[in-house]
Amino acid sequence: MEIAKLVESQHAYFKTGATRPVAARLAALRQLEQAIRLHEKEICNALCNDLGKSDFESYMCEIGLVLDEIRFQQKHMARFARPRRVKTPMAQFKATSFVSPEPYGVVLVMSPWNYPFMLTLDPVIGAIAAGNCVVIKPSAYSASTSDLLGQLFAGLFQQEFVAVVPGGRAENTALLEQKFDYIFFTGSVEVGKLVMEKASRNLTPVTLELGGKSPCIVDETANLKLAAKRIAFGKYLNVGQTCVAPDYLFVHESVKDHLVGYLKMAITECYGAKPLENRDYGRIVNQKHFERICGLMEGEKILAGGETQPEKLRIAPTILGDITPESPVMQEEIFGPILPVMTYRDLSEVADYVCAHPKPLAFYFFTTSRAHEEYLLSRCSFGGGCINDTIIHLATTAMPFGGVGASGMGSYHGKASFDTFTHYRSIVKKANWVDLPIRYQPYDEKKEKLLRMFLH
């Protein structure tokens, strides 16, 4: 179906009201859940084809999180969708006030290639739960998963309700020329700016889930061995192709050598002495990104790793030493299995560095000092993060996930997903049996006294 006609058909379908009943939303989510469970093996195969992910990692980081999001919305969505009574000020006597949730309408979800199943489905689940129609544009880089998503939704819903648009830049451009009621984009800062520019033509609200250079700080009080294990997990998961991966490491100079030693041990324990022979260790998505990441290692001091398999687009978990803020690897988001290490003497150096750069999507700090923790949290702005761990703050429906500043705007997961795709109407219902005359002209001193008494 032509893109313009597809979007038009979704607008027409939304106007029928078919997506508004809570029962219809729940039924759609149940269908989606059943389809995911039925096709779990095919999903894992697609993720393996695109990124070399193991079945375990595919379930842990994609399928399992999606199913958790569906269960949350099924459990709570009916309550979220109900109008909510709120307090009415005395000046509006006699009246009742309530907030009424309504879906935006037709939503565009543009997803990336690095977690192509989870980062597509999570926002789609929120959009469906809120009662919207959805056009999905998955990434052309993760072709196997994108094809599977197209087949999955074609077998579940009519295109007027949920449709997948395959393709690359031409399709992205065509979609952004259409009038949507909401756009949800996950991807790079550069493309995010374009999405926002296009959306502004129709005053379409947007959520932008972007990225940036997320810092990981380890102070002299940290449990170094455990910190190393958790940093290695977060950094090398999905071969570093994670928007919230620790991008660089800032470690107190007094414990740098010890931490690097533990990081080497953690890499060996997790991935073996020869990680490139580990079948569960994935690959870079394509040749372009492989060459870019390899270029970031050129001329740098390699403390661990550095091996590559060009024919398989694989790069071993790597640690770089003697890094400065001016190093090439510090000038862009890495999005690969390379961990640059810098040292500091005083925590203020870390705070000053982070604050002098675009606000990151994630922030990780390993410490046992409450004072150090409070100091950095009071100084640094970021989307979300962890104290004494990495990555896991996004794997919960209890907290919103999103960026700030250059790392994005808006949030989702759990209740935040429903809220993102919902417009909340504020409504006052006034009684007819009484009508206070204060607001009406002619004004006089008596009315002013009464006005001041009500609004005091």
Residue 267 has pLDDT above 90, yes or no: yes
Ramachandran quadrant class, 167 (left: phi over 0; alpha: psi -120 to 50; beta: rest)? left
pLDDT at residue 1, rounded to an integer: 64
For residue range 95-141, list pLDDT tens digits in order: 999 999 999 999 999 999 999 999 999 999 999 999 999 999 999 99
By the 10 Å C-beta count (0-12 exposed, 13-18 middle, 19+ buried), 455 is classed as exposed
- Beta-sheet strand order (sheet of 248-252): 301-304, 318-321, 338-344, 248-252, 215-218, 362-366, 384-387
What is residue 260's three-state secondary structure? helix
pLDDT at residue 58, rounded to an integer: 97
- Residues above pLDDT 70, as percent of the chain: 100
Distances (CA, A) of 390 to 111, 195, 317, 365: 23, 29, 17, 9
Rg of the chain (C-alpha set): 25
Given 243, 333, 380, 386, which residue is catalytic?
243
For residue range 312-323, list pLDDT tens digits in order: 999 999 999 999
pLDDT at residue 90, rounded to an integer: 83
Band the pLDDT of 455: cuts 50, 70, 90: confident
Given 57, 62, 69, 209, which residue is catalytic?
209
What is residue 429's three-state secondary structure? strand
Residue 230 has pLDDT above 70, yes or no: yes
For residue range 150-190, list pLDDT tens digits in order: 999 999 999 999 999 999 999 999 999 999 999 999 999 99
pLDDT at residue 447, rounded to an integer: 87
Q: Would you state the structure tokens that stand for residue 351, as one six-digit string? A: 């705070």
Residue 450 has pLDDT above 90, yes or no: no
DSSP 248: E
Q: Active site includes 209?
A: yes
Average pLDDT over residues 244-268: 97
Average pLDDT over residues 232-245: 97
Q: Is the dihedral of CA 312, 316, 321, 323 positive or negative?
A: positive
pLDDT at residue 364, rounded to an integer: 98
For residue range 3-51, list pLDDT tens digits in order: 999 999 999 999 999 999 999 999 999 999 999 999 999 999 999 999 9
The crossing angle, in degrees rounded to 10, of helices 64-81 and 118-129 is 10
Largest CA distance in the chain: 87
Band the pLDDT of 296: cuts 50, 70, 90: very high
Domains of the chain, each with CATH number or no CATH:
3-210+408-424 (3.40.605.10), 215-402 (3.40.309.10)
pLDDT at residue 453, rounded to an integer: 85
Q: Active site includes 42?
A: no
Q: What pTM was computed for the model?
A: 0.95
For residue range 342-394, list pLDDT tens digits in order: 999 999 999 999 999 999 999 999 999 999 999 999 999 999 999 999 999 99
Q: How far is CA 94 from the centre of its chain?
A: 44
What are the start-end ranges of the H helices in 237-305?
256-271, 287-297
Q: Would you state the structure tokens that stand for residue 289, as one six-digit string? A: 């990104």
- Count the neighbouring beta carbons within 10 Å of the beta carbon of residue 319: 24
Write down the mean pLDDT value for the chain: 96
